[in-house]
Amino acid sequence: MKRYLVKRIGYMLVTLFVIVTITFFLMQLLPGTPFTNPEKLTDQQMTILNAKYGLDQPVGIQYIRYLGNLVQGDLGYSFQHEGRTVSSMISDRIGPSAFIGLQALVFGAIIGLVLGIISALKHNSIFDYGSVAIAVIGMSIPSFVFAALLQYYVGVKLEWLPVALWEGYSSTILPSFALSVTVTATVARFIRSEMLEVLGQDYVITARAKGMTENQVIIKHVIRNALIPVVTMLGPLAVSIMTGTLVIEKIFSVPGLGEQFTLSILVLDYSVIMGITIFYSALFIFVVFLVDIIYGFLDPRITYKEGESA
Amino acid sequence: MRKKIRNSALTLGMATALLLSGCNFSNSTEKVDDDKDNKVNQTLNVTEPADVPTLDSTKAHDGIAFTVLNNVNEGLYRQDENNLPIKALATEHKESEDKVVHTFTLRDSKWSNGEPVTAKDFEFAWKRVMKDNSPYAFMFVTAGIKNAEAILNAEKDADELGIKAIDEKTLEVTLEAANPLFQTLLTFPTFLPQNQKFVEEKGDQYALEADGILFNGPFKLVEWTHEQGWKYEKNEDYWDAKAVKLDNINVYVVKDPSTGTNLYETEKVDRVELSSALVDQYKDDENFQTLKESGLVFLRFNHKHPVLGNKDVRKAINMAIDKKGLTDVILKDGSSPLNGVVPAGFYNSPDNKDYRELNGDFNTGTVKEAQEAWAKGLKETGQKDVTVSINIADSDDQKKVAEYIQAQLEDNLPGFKLEIKAVPFAQRLEIEKAIEYDLSLSSWGPDYSDPMTYLDMWLKGGSANRMDYYNPKLDELVAKARTESDLTKRYQMLLDLEKILLEEDAAIAPLYQEGESILIREKINGVLVHPTGAEFTYKWASIKE
């Protein structure tokens, strides 16, 4: 197990290094300058600015410098928001993104779970068709359409919840709901098919034969076993939700990270592009790693002995 | 198992609490004291499309920051409702006979830390702009302040800038030569003063938070939550505080226009900009307004191109595009057709007539006239069919405009083929600067409130020329107008410059001037909208009964 961990962490670092390198050089291929107001800068000013930020150096040297700073944990300063460090920009904005993402995950998991269980237990009934229909709709309608509808009907027409802005807990509910639709649909479908499979297993028949009540059978044997694959799926889903909130954040005026990322690419804010890419990649790699570890605890069939590790 | 679940529930709860505390909600809980003494609540609620990158006046480079600076600080001059400069901190402005040396006397006023605003504060801030080679340092060159150009070219030291604090209340500014634009430019936020002690104390954190900047203007910034908004409060220590009616202004960062409209519907904000998709829905609303803006959208021609280098061809292209169809059917965002280089409603003559009205329309005509010019041009260049490409940025708007132009030109000019080349914005600019295009869909925002900002960009070798255009007559007249101090004569020169550019040379094809459609509540009074520098002045705004 220990050796497996060391090896995995080593791989993670290598992956991150490859991502940093590729992003750095790809970014250099983008046309333009990171400076503000490029329409009005004269060539003279451009030369002075380039020298000031070391952008007149060959790309190789810039890359080595960047790596040097990165190893010391320095992500540099933003070009567009002069004086602001990239790490402070990330730490200021990750909070709202993470909160909405996680809340969406909780909403989605709970609703999805309920829908999935009902639909498996009442297989081929009107309930089953109803929740399957909800799941299909949830998968096929993009979350931003749902967001716009929620904003208009719940916010403007009914005035139950704030239309947008970031002013206390009530303003997190609509964006989380809009985001949770995909999660709900995914979880519901997953649970349904897993449960249907588990319900046909021999040990379920055995449990019933032992005289357990139906509730005991469902809770202790069926749901618990059906949950295992769902847990592994939630990890990557969590990351993609936390990072994929761009449109939702824009619609609900949430001061999150998603919007910053696209913006930084559009204005070519080199240090911010690098910083957020590294942050997202590290997060993703870490979550995948975590899921692998948790999976081992949940499912006794998987062990991380030497030589067997994936 | 049960214990485990309880534990994890506890952890989840703690994590939620932790996350909530990391969420930076803005404080909306405080109650606005309504009906105090039966007075109207003087609170204005507005939106801005982005956060402010920095409030350091020497480094600020975007309209939103300029607006904040304009409302929390005070310089020598500020813009009035006609965008003309009026004295602000300066009580007196004396000029030497040759109009090169300007002496300002400052009124008594205080920074928000209690220190007086002195002439030294101007000297410090202006030299700081030059020292840091700031994005708007070129404004000092435009203003013609002594040595500014040499400093930008790294030939002189920033300390040699032509500004000197004679004493606490007297400021002396020396120009390279007389410059009729000088006063107009002084309203620009880059010319604001800064308190040296405070700036140095804050170091590189200066003006990045609400408590990192000092105020001497009509309002104070009491709250600034990044990416969410900021809040102004009336500055009781402002020298002209009795003119300020508003007590509070809440600004919310709202990036999506339809979100803004929904906030307007729920009375959370009092003024919103509409996207073109929403204009149809609201155009009959009683609070709907269309404002003319000063952004110019036009076609650049590569003047070295074998066909486009021909004046009649350029004229034909000018005439063959139905600009009204473009703004009213395609864009529908408040833009209006433009047949000149200086937009309408931008600047008045000394006897108060609009520049556009005085100069009229250039290069307009029927399709038939366009075809005649086209035939003539082709004959002169010896061509029959012409295929050219147009360089555009890959934004939705630019694509729509380019497709419209393509259809118009190919329909109306026989043998004309237009290929659209869409590239990222930054690359569009690079291609333009290198003049590696045939036609380029361009835009230009004015730097200051004077027609010159649209006219001197066409000088030979100017950094905004970008199309190899050269007419020695234009260069000569620009040089003359730059030092002409008789305002009537100067205005005539400005009118003549546009005639050279468009009537004589048809050097570009203007398409439209930008506009915006807004919803604004009836009770809002006196919010000034400016075409250059700061977008809004709230000093004289108020809420009616």
| Per-residue pLDDT reduced to its tens digit, B275-286 | 888 888 888 888
Q: Kind and range of the H or E element at B372? A: helix B367-381
| Residues within 8 A of A (CB atoms), B 255-314 only | 255-256, 258-259, 262-263, 265-266, 268
pLDDT in tens, B167-177: 999 999 999 98
Instruction: Name, in order, each residue with C-beta under 8 angstroms of B354's C-beta and a sequence gap of 6 or more.
Output: B344, B345, B346, B347, B348
ipTM confidence score: 0.79
CB atoms within 10 A of CB A102: 18
B505 sits in which H/E element? none
Q: In the 8-state DSSP scheme, what is residue B281?
A: H
Determine the Cα–Cα distance for residues B150 and B157; give it in Å rounded to an integer. 8
Q: Report CB contact under 8 Å: B61, A37.
A: yes
Selection from A276, A287, A274, A281 nearest residue A26 by Cα? A274
Lowest mean pLDDT segment, chosen from A239-253, B114-128, B493-507? A239-253
- Quick count: other Cβ atoms within 10 Å of Cβ A90? 19
Interface contact B24-A95, CB threshold 8 A = yes
Distances (CA, A) of B290 to B27, B273, B284, B514: 33, 10, 12, 11
Under DSSP, is residue B129 helix (H, G, I), strand (E, B) or coil? helix
Conformation bin of residue B192: beta by default, left when phi > 0, alpha when psi is -120 to 50: beta
**What is the model's pLDDT at position B387?**
92
Question: What local confidence, expressed as pLDDT, does residue B18 receive?
Answer: 54
Enter the pTM of the model.
0.84
Q: Within a 10 A sphere around the Cβ of B218, how many other Cβ atoms?
A: 27
In chain B, what are the domains? 1-73+217-270+521-545 (3.40.190.10), 75-197 (3.90.76.10), 295-515 (3.10.105.10)
Phi, psi of B515 (to 5 degrees): -150, 170
Residue B13 has pLDDT above 70, yes or no: no
Query: What tokens does A262 get?
Result: 């696209």
Residue B82: closest CA among B540, B460, B396: B540
Q: How far away is chain A from the Cα of B468, in angstroms, using its nearest Cα?
A: 16
Q: For residues B446 and B467, what is the distance between their CA atoms, to the nearest angstrom? A: 19
pLDDT at B2 over 50: no
- Give the burial string for A160-180 (b: 16+ CB within 10 Å, else e): eebbbbbbeeebbbbbbbbbb
The mean pLDDT of B355-359, rounded to a whole number, is: 91
CA of B115 vs chain A CAs: smallest distance (Å) = 26
Contact A250 B208 (CB under 8 A): no
Q: How far is A99 from chain B (nearest CA, A)?
A: 6
> One digit per residue, pLDDT tens: chain A, 310 residues?
788 888 889 999 999 999 989 988 888 887 777 776 666 667 777 777 777 777 888 888 888 888 888 888 888 888 877 778 888 888 888 888 888 888 888 888 888 888 888 888 888 888 888 888 888 888 888 888 888 888 888 888 888 888 878 888 888 888 888 888 888 888 888 888 888 888 888 888 888 888 888 888 888 778 877 777 777 777 777 777 776 577 888 888 888 888 788 888 877 888 888 888 888 888 888 888 887 787 777 666 766 665 444 4
Question: How many other C-beta atoms lie within 10 A of the C-beta of residue A2?
Answer: 8
Residues of B in contact with A95 (CB under 8 A): 19, 22-24
**What integer pLDDT is reported at residue B38 of this predicted model?**
57
Q: Do B265 and A156 touch (CB under 8 A)?
A: yes
Whole-number percent of chain B with pLDDT over 70:
93
Whether the pLDDT of residue B23 is over 80: the answer is no
CA B503 vs. chain centroid, Å, equals 27
> How much helix, strand and coil, in percent to the nearest 5, is found in chain B?
35, 20, 40
pLDDT top residue among B221 and A139: B221
DSSP per residue over chain A, as a string? -HHHHHHHHHHHHHHHHHHHHHHHHHHHTS-S-SSS-TTT--HHHHHHHHHHTTTTS-HHHHHHHHHHHHHTT---B-SSSTT-BHHHHHHHHHHHHHHHHHHHHHHHHHHHHHHHHHHHHTTTSHHHHHHHHHHHHHHHS-HHHHHHHHIIIIIIIS-SS-SSS--STHHHHHHHHHHHHHHHHHHHHHHHHHHHHHHTSHHHHHHHHTT--HHHIIIIIIIHHHHHHHHHHHHHHHHHHHHS-HHHHHHTT---HHHHHHHHHHTT-HHHHHHHHHHHHHHHHHHHHHHHHHHHHH-TT----TTT--
Residues B513-528 as b/e (b if ≥16 CB within 10 A, e otherwise) read bbbbbbbbeeebeebb
* CB-CB contact of B424 with B456 (8 Å): no
Band the pLDDT of B69: cuts 50, 70, 90: very high
Q: Which of A35, A153, A167 to mutate to test the interface with B (most CBs of B within 10 A)?
A: A167
Q: Is the pLDDT of residue B334 over 60?
A: yes
Write down the H helix ranges in B224-366.
257-265, 276-282, 311-320, 323-325, 355-359
- Contact call for B23 and A96, based on CB within 8 A: yes
Question: Could you tell me which residues are beta bridge partners of residue B403?
Answer: none
Residue B436 predicted with pLDDT over 60: yes
d(CA A290, CA A293): 5
pLDDT higher than threshold 90 for residue B536: yes
The rounded distance, in Å, linking the Cα atoms of B77 and B96 is 19
Q: Is the dihedral of CA B275, B278, B280, B285 positive or negative?
A: negative
A138 within 8 A of A185, measured Cβ to Cβ? yes
Q: Are A246 and A258 in contact (CB under 8 A)?
A: yes
Indicate whether B37 pLDDT > 60. Answer: no
Q: Calculate the alpha carbon distances from B2 to A161, A219, B5, B8, B14 in Å.
A: 36, 13, 5, 10, 19
- The CB density around residue B154, as the number of other CB atoms within 10 Å, is 12
Provide the CB-side half-sphere exposure for B323 (13 A, CA).
23
Q: Is B507 helix (H, G, I), strand (E, B) or coil?
A: coil
**Yes or no, beta carbons of A48 and B154 under 8 Å apart:** yes
- What confidence score (pLDDT) does residue A39 get? 67
H or E element that contains B76: none
Q: What is the pLDDT of residue A168?
A: 81
pLDDT digits (tens, 9 = 90+) for B283-329: 888 899 888 888 899 999 999 999 999 999 999 999 999 999 999 88
The residue in chain A having the minimum alpha-carbon distance to the alpha carbon of residue B253 is: A253
Residue of B nearest to A161 (CA): B266
Smallest Cβ–Cβ distance between B28 and the set A43, A168, A251 belongs to A168
Give backbone dihedrals phi and psi of B91, rounded to 5 degrees, phi first: -95, -25
CA distance A53 to chain B (A): 12
How far is it, in rounded angstroms, from Cα B298 to Cα B267?
Answer: 38
The number of C-alpha atoms within 13 Å of A295 and in the hemisphere containing its C-beta is 18
Residues of B with CB below 8 A from A266's CB? Answer: 425
User: Which residues of chain A lie closer than 8 angstroms to B4, CB-CB?
Assistant: none
Residue B315, min C-alpha distance to chain A (Å): 27
- Euclidean distance between CA atoms B409 and B403, whole angstroms: 10
Residue with tokens 């366009």: B370
Q: Is the pLDDT of residue B405 over 90?
A: yes
The helix or strand, by DSSP H or E, that contains position B165, with its residue range, turns out to be strand B163-167
Contacts of A151 in chain B (CB under 8 A): 259, 262
In whole angstroms, what is the distance from residue B259 CA to residue B256 CA? 5
- Confidence at residue B138, expressed as pLDDT on a 0 to 100 scale: 85
Looking from the CA of B194 toward its CB, the CA atoms found within 13 Å total: 26
Whether B20 and A99 lie within 8 Å, measured CB to CB: yes
The one-character DSSP state at B345 is T
Check if B138 contacts A (Cβ < 8 Å). Answer: yes
Rounded distance between C-alpha atoms, residue B339 and residue B359, angstroms: 10
Evaluate if residue B62 carries a pLDDT over 50.
yes
Q: Nearest CA of chain B to the CA of A39: how many Å?
A: 7
Question: Cβ(B524)–Cβ(B543) under 8 Å?
Answer: yes
